[in-house]
Amino acid sequence: MNLILGIILACILALAVKGSIAHFKGEGSCCGGGGSDVKSKEKKLDSVTCIKTLRIEGMHCEHCYTRVHNALNSLEGVSAKVYGKHGKAVVKCALDPGDDMLRQTVEKLDYTVTSIETREP
């Protein structure tokens, strides 16, 4: 009886480890990933009035980075680059959307913006 339970537990553990490895490689479905999301191209801005760095928690895979990248780049006058492994997005603004708009755009995707720093271009 103990042998059977041990085998069942070992199988469950092996499946959990396999899923975790895929998740951290960006191949899992932590947030609906594993699909064929296409990263939108970075916009070319005529002028840049400010540069904002957003610190973001909760991005774990390439799918997460792409979701944040596409959401930020959908804003008017914004060109964003996401550095998921560093937990940040650098946003160049032709028109300043405001910190609240940037925060809401990211947080509606269920990630957390921990800080926003603004600097001159």
pTM of the model: 0.71
Residue 49 neighbours by CB under 8 Å, 6+ apart? 93, 94, 95, 96, 121
Chain segment 42-68, per-residue pLDDT in tens: 778 889 999 999 999 999 888 899 999
Residue 29 neighbours by CB under 8 Å, 6+ apart? 23
Tally of CB atoms within 10 A around 105: 20
CATH topology of domain 50-119: Alpha-Beta Plaits (3.30.70)
The whole-number pLDDT of residue 13 equals 81
State mean pLDDT over 54-83: 93
State mean pLDDT over 29-37: 56
Residue 1 neighbours by CB under 8 Å, 6+ apart? none
Query: Is the model more confident about 5 or about 61?
Result: 61
Query: Is the model more confident about 33 or about 82?
Result: 82
User: What are the boundaries of each domain within the chain?
Assistant: 1-28, 50-119
Query: Is the model more confident about 19 or about 60?
Result: 60
